[in-house]
Structures are given as structure tokens and as C-alpha cells.
Structure 1
Amino acid sequence: MARKREKPVSPRTLLGPYGRLFTVPGAAWFSLAGWVARLPLPMLGLGAVLLVEGESGSYALAGAVSGTLALTASVAGPQWARAMDRRGQGRVLQVAMAAYLLTGLAFVGVVVGDAPRWTWFGLAALTGASLPNIGALVRARWVAALEDAERRQTAFAFESVVDEVVFVVGPPLVTVLGTLVAPAAGFTTGIVLGTVGGLWLARQRATEPVVTPAGEGGGSRRLAALGPAVLLVCAAYLGVGTVFGAMDVVVVGYAESLGMPALAGVALALYAGGSLVAGLAYGVARLPGTLAARFLGTAVFFGVAAQGLWAVSSLPLLIGAGFLAGLAVAPVLVSGASLIESRVPRAALTEALSWSNTGLTVGVTAGSALAGAAVDSWGAQAAFAVPAVAAASAALIALAGAPLLRRGAPGPVTQPASRVEDAVGG
């Protein structure tokens, strides 16, 4: 008997789960607003470098000011998230965006006006401290809107792809504005876009997660937001973020050492492209095992995939090794977010997700510094050891912390998770 010929899987079949996400009322709008509000993430750091260097002529000063902004943002993000878990996203986000706009424009003013240097650092710190982690807010809205865990995985994968698009679009945009228009143009555009997107998201009250009043369970909520699973994911994400920060520096340095600096963008784009492809695939995959096992598996894959960077000795090898390493990025980020979501009560979810992003941000800052020192001391080719070792460290941290994941998840949520569920019955 002739074997029945199987039909090839069509793009519509693969992408169908993503399209069905946006049948949820309001989902398309809060996701789009979150994308606009996230554009400043790659724009502010690079924009601050271009602005400060353009006005002062010092890359060292520019890096120090940009690092100050990034570090205060990483510390302040979970604090904003905690307030939103207790008082609602809309109310707190409006306050944050107003502070963000005022401090950001004031920072541009003191730099362009050549005010004392301490004001540059002070206002950079305040600008970073005014910026909530928008990605965590959007993911919390997806959790509130979707009851099915597999659909939440798809939503997290989609947001991971959105993050990649942000980091593909943002740097070229800020570079063009900062170099061809004015040093302040890129940073200022990031401030304006972030404010517009943040206020747009704040107005969408129907998709906000329902909150518990601030006086109820404050201490237990804080402990839940920093539970064992959250701490392990944050620790592993330090290594993941170090890879991100190191790759940007080392790839640029290596391309320049070959006399082809323009091709650094191609290599980094393919690295991001690998993550984008893997994120789309992971989001619709129905994988066996628990969420803890998936996180451990993707962390190990991340650590192994990056070891190809040791073999880089030419641009084609860099592109191939970078694409392979990129394939491991989105799965470990999506599985980490899914694990946190499964282990943290809804009342503390936004803060917990923000802490994981803090781990990434601190790692990026450390990775950039370590890679820069390695390029200067060892040369660009040898400096690929930094992201390779950091990736292996992320995997080892995840494996070492595996016993922490044996604790059970909190009980099921019985209250409606968002105003959308109140209106449409889930």
C-alpha cells in the first residue's frame, strides 16, 4: 500500500498561534504601545554616548555617563514594578513617564549647555531611575489575558521577538540621528518615543492586571517576587546579559581588525536574526518536560552553542558561529520568563519579571566593560573568549541552582486576572 504523502507545514500553520494571540481584546494595542515604549532601551545608552562624546570629545566620560544611566534603570525598574503590582500600571506609569520626560530633557539641556559635569551624572541617574521595565509590564498583561500556559509561552516568545526588533531598529536610528542631525537628536528622540509609548500603554486600563490593595500581603509579596526561581533566573541572566554586552564590543573590534568595520552590523544582525527565528519556533513548539526542565535545557543549549565563538578566525566563521549562538538566545529568555510566571503569584509578577531584566542589564554593562578590556589587552579575536566563557557560566549557574527549582509553584489563581477577563469571561 502506497504511503500517504505528508503535506508540508505552511507558514500560516506555524504563525497561526501568533495570530490567535491578537484575538484577545486589546492585545494588539497594548503590545504595540509596549513596542514603541521599548524603543528607547537601545537608544538611550548609545544616544547618551553620542551626545556626551559629541559635546565633550571624551569617550571615557561618555561611557561613564551612559553606564550610570543603565545601572540606575536596572535598580529602579523593579521598584516601579512593585508599585504597579500594588497600585495598578496606569496610575504609576503616568507618574514615571512624566518624570522620565522631564529628567531626560533636563539631561540633554545640561550636556548641551556645558553645565558642571556632576549635573550630567546626576540627571543621567535620574533619567535611568525614571524608566520602568516596559517589557515586564507587557508580559504581565499577557499573563492576565491568557489562561492557557502554552498560549502564554507563545506570547512570551512573541515579546522576545519584539525585543529583538527593538534592538535591530533602535541602534541604527539613534546613530543616524546623532551623527547626521545633531548629537542630541538620537537621545531626545528616544525620550520622546518612550514617553509617547508609555503614556499610550498607561491609558489602556482595560487590559491592566487586577491588583491587590497596597496594604495586603506587602511582606509576603516582596518575598514572592524574589523567590528561589526568580533568583536563579536572575543569576543565570547575568551570564546571558554578559554575552550580549560582550558580543557588541568584540564583533565591532574584530570587524575593524579585519579592515571591514561596516560588516560588524551584518554579523550582529545575523546574531539577532538567529534569536528571532528561534523565538518564533520556540513559541509554537509543544515541548515535553516541566518548565524547570525547559529552562535548564535551554540554558545548557545557550552555553554550548556559544562555544563555537572560540573557533572564529575569519568573517564567515564569525557569521556562522554568531548565528548558531543567536539560535539559543530567545529560548532561554522565553523559558526563564515562563518559569518565573509559573512560580510567582500574580500580585508580585511584574516585579519578579523586572528583576530578571535587571540581571540582564547588569550583565550587559559588565560584558561591555570586560570585552573592551579584553580587546585592548588580548586583541579582538582572542576576546571572543569573554562571551564564550560567560555563556558557559550561565549554563553552569542554572545547573548548580537546579535543586532550588524543586519547590512547588503557588496555587491556582481564583480571581480574574484582568479587566478583560471580567468583561469577556476569560
Structure 2
Amino acid sequence: MASTVTTEPSENPAAPSRPGYGQLLRTRGAWTFLLPGFAARQPFAMLTLSIVLLVQHTTGSYGAAGAVAAVTGVSMALFAPYSGRLADRHGQRAVLIPGVLVHTLSGMSLTALALSHAPLWALFAAAVPTGASVPQVGPMVRARWGVRLQGSPLMATAAAFESVTDELTFVVGPLLATALCTTVDPAAGLVTEAALTLLGGLLFAARRSTQPPVTAGGHARVRQASALRVPGVRVLIVTFLGIGSVFGGMQVSLAAFSESIGEPGLNGVLYGTFAAGNMLSGIACGAIAWKSAPQRRLVLGYTALALAASALWTAHSALPLAGLGLLVGMCIAPALITGYTLVENLVAAGARTEAFTWLTGAVALGQAAAVTVAGQLEDRLWDGAGFLVPLGGTLLALVTLLALRSRLVAPPRHRTVARGVGHRSPVPVD
């Protein structure tokens, strides 16, 4: 009961309906984990594209590059929830430090194997630990906000701010990866990604005072196991798989388009435009005091995303493609923000870190599948065929969302615990 009512603004009449970003960033101790956390998030934005550009350079095949990147993404998706569960049980620092060390070593091994023209199976073998050890900093930062802002109306603003930060990494990351791989060295993207992971991850782990407290082992296991059992979480996972298909399909298809017109450096600009639209709409979403229910916003926003993604394959020149990419990006942020907001309503506080990692993993898995399929389509069909992947992924997820949207409503038990269990109201009798 407490976890439900403390987020209501009515408990603090003096608070505005939607506190601003400035007030959020003045939260004591926030910058001590936000800055290193931003650096440590770069793997999610740089890793896939850096692998695609490096492996395509060494093998000449987008199909092979997409397959290696897909193995990395699948490994990250499979291990992300367990990382969140271990962080709840043993503390973020205990999970993060060995994780960033393994990721750095694995990334360097993958880079060396690619440059030495190792067989594809060897690249797959190195891609598994590289993806499995990607630090889940985004969910960890969200969990730290929960500790700092428990019972505060700023939690809604923090959810929007975190989604904006995620999108900012997708502006900086692809631009940085493309610039490094095309102007410095094909391996420079992965090397920089590993260095940022190591530095940012260790600095983030060093901030012990802001990490959530460790929950007792047995109690934690019960709560953590319940996250995936919530029907609404499973619906959101499918929804986020569709979002991942947009990220993966755009990464491969934009890279292939840029190379086909003899301007490989244009890839970063086009993808950055897509990500910039995502970030700008995220900022706007966080500043609006929404009156409609989040379930309705998710359905409307996702419908717009599917329609915009359906038009990508029709663009045959850079300018229309940039415009459509901007539009698609503007449709993604509302869906992401609303999905994370729904987790706050659907999942008990003790299981939210795991729930966040399931959604993050779903994006990674959708991205991995999209990279694989888009790479094969670009190799086997016409230039731009990879853009069919965001179309198919979002439409399938939208059908699922429309069919199961009723499961996104929190069950009444969250609001009626205090009334007792199994007792009927007394009625008069003669």
C-alpha cells in the first residue's frame, strides 16, 4: 500500500504536478552516479555498431557482421536479468566490478580475433562473454534514483530523465563509433567502448553511498522471481522487442545505405538524427504532466511508431531517409518512457531492478535478431531491404500489445491490501 500512495502528488500539496528536471538534478548525490553512469552506458550504444563496422571491414559481409553482433546481443539479453537479480542480492558493486573487467578483456579479444581474420566460430565464441558481461548500468541508475527519491513525486521525472539519458547515449555512441571506425581505425570503436566501460563502470561502482541496500537472500529470491510472473511485464517485453528491432534494423541498414552511396561517414549522421529525434521527444515527454492513462499512451505511441517505421524502406536518398529517421526516433521515446513508467505500477519495489533489466534485455534481444535478419536481407536482396525489419518487428509487437493491453492495468490487490484478505462485508440478517 505504501509503495502505491507515496508516488501520488496529493501527499505534498505544495509540489507541482510534474517537478522539473532542474529540481531533480539538485537531488543530493545525484551527479556522483550520473556522470560515471553515463560513460558506463556507452556499451549499449556503441557495441553493436562497432562490431558491425569492424567485422564487415574484415570479412566484407554484413551477414557475418550482423551474426556476430547478434550473438553479443542475445548473450546480453539472456544474462541481463540475472545481473539485475545478483545486484539486488549481493549489491551493485559486487556485480559491476567483475563484470566490467570481463567485458573489457572479452571486447579486446574479439577485436584481436577480428583483425587477425579468425574464423567466424572464433568470433562467435568471443562475442558470448562480451555480450554477457555488458554492465546493466541503466537499470542500476534507475534503482539508485528509487533510493534517493523514495516517496517523492520526482520519481516520474526521474523515469523520463533516464529515458532521455538512454537516448542521449544513442546520439553520442553511434556518432563516436562511426567516426572512430571510419577515420581512425576499424577497431577503434570497440577499443574505445571497452575503455569507457572500464573507466565509467569502476567509477560508478565506487559510489557505494548511493547504491540500493542489499536485501536478505531468501526474501530477495521470492521477490525477484515474481518480476517475470507479472503478466504486464511479459507484454512489455514483447513491446520492447519491437523497439529493439528498430534499433538493430536501423544500425545495419543505415550503414549499408551509407556505403552504397560511397559516403560511409554519413552513417553516424543519419543514425544520430534518428537518435536525436528520440532524445528530443523524450525531453518533451518528461516535461508534460500527462492526464491520460499510461496504457492508452503506450498504445497510441506504439501505433505511431509502427506507422513511421513502415515507411523507412520507401526512402532512396539521404534527405528523405534522415527525415523519416527523425520521425521514427521521435516515436520511440514515448513508448520507452511509458513502458518504464508502467513497471513502477505493475511490479513490487523489490523486483523492479530485475523488471528493468528484462526490458533492457528485450531491447538487446530484438536488436540482435534485427541485426542478423537485416544483414542477411542487405546481402541477399536489394539495398535498403534491411528496413523491412523495423516494419515487421513493430507491427508484430503492436498486434500483441493491442490484444493484451488489458494486462497492463495493475491488479486491484495493490490497492486493497489494507482491507484484509478473504473477509466479506457484513450484511444484516433477520
Q: Which TM bucket (shorter chain)?
A: 0.7 to 0.9
1-structure distance, mates of 2:412, 2:26:
29
Deviations 1:17-76 (A, max 9, x none): 111111111112211111100112232233334444555666554443332222211211
Q: Which one of 368, 371, 387 corresponds to residue 374 of structure 2? A: 371
Structure 2 unaligned residues grouped into runs of 5+:
1-15, 416-430
Q: 1:390 is aligned with what amino acid?
A: G
Q: Which amino acid aligns with 2:46?
A: M
Counterpart among 129, 134, 142 of residue 131 in structure 1? 134
Unmatched segments (≥5 aa) in structure 1: 1-12, 413-426
Q: CA separation in 2, counterparts of 1:44 and 1:314?
A: 27
The equivalent residue for 1:92 is 95
Question: Residue 27 in 1 paired to residue 30 in 2?
Answer: yes
- Kindly state the Cα deviation for residue 329 of structure 1 after the two structures are TM-superposed: 0.8
What is the CA–CA distance in structure 2 between the aligned matches of 1:27 and 1:134, rounded to whole Å? 14
Distance 1:60 1:22, change over 3 A: same
> Shift in Å at residue 377 of structure 1?
5.1
**Matched-pair contact (CA < 8 Å) for 2:135–2:201:** no
TM-score by length of 1: 0.83
The residue type equivalent to 1:78 in the other structure is P
* TM-align CA RMSD: 3.0
CA contact (8 A) 1:254 1:380 kept: yes
Secondary structure of the structure 2 residue equivalent to 1:144: helix
Q: CA deviation at 1:111?
A: 4.9
Match of 1:18 among 13, 16, 21: 21
More displaced 10-residue stretch of structure 1: 172-181 or 276-285: 172-181
Structure 1 residue 314 displacement after superposition: 4.7
- In structure 1, what is the equivalent of residue 3 of structure 2? none
CA distance in 2, matches of 1:67, 1:383: 15
3-state SS, counterpart of residue 96 of structure 2: helix
Write the distance in 1 (CA, Å) between the matches of 2:283 and 2:48.
Answer: 27
Matched, 1:197 2:200: yes
The CA distance in 2 between the partners of 1:222 and 1:304, in whole Å, is 36
Q: Distance in 1 between matches of 2:412 and 2:147?
A: 17
| Equivalent residue in structure 1 for 2:108, among 93, 102, 105 | 105
Q: Equivalences for 1:166-245 in 2 at 5 Å?
A: 166-245=169-248
Cα distance, 1:82 vs structure 2 = 0.5
Aligned to 1:250: 253
- Give the residue type in structure 2 aligned to 1:388: L
Report the identity percentage.
37
Once residues 394 and 56 of structure 2 are traced to their aligned partners in structure 1, the CA distance between those partners, rounded to angstroms, is 31
Distance 1:368 1:222, change over 3 A: same
- Tell me, yes or no, if the aligned pair for 1:52 and 1:61 is still in contact at 8 Å: yes
- The CA deviation at 1:299 is 2.1
Q: What's 1:286 paired with?
A: 289
Does residue 304 of the first structure (1) align with residue 302 of the second (2)?
A: no
Tell me if the contact between 1:302 and 1:395 (Cα under 8 Å) persists in the aligned partners. no
Shift of the 289–89 alpha-carbon distance from structure 1 to 2, 3 Å rule, reads: same
**Aligned-pair CA distance for 1:187:** 1.4
How big is the shift at 1:263?
Answer: 4.4
Structure 2 residue 392 is matched with structure 1 residue 395 = no
- Distance apart, 1:311 and its partner CA: 5.2
Aligned mates of 2:274, 2:111 — CA distance in 1:
32
Q: Which amino acid aligns with 1:20?
A: Q
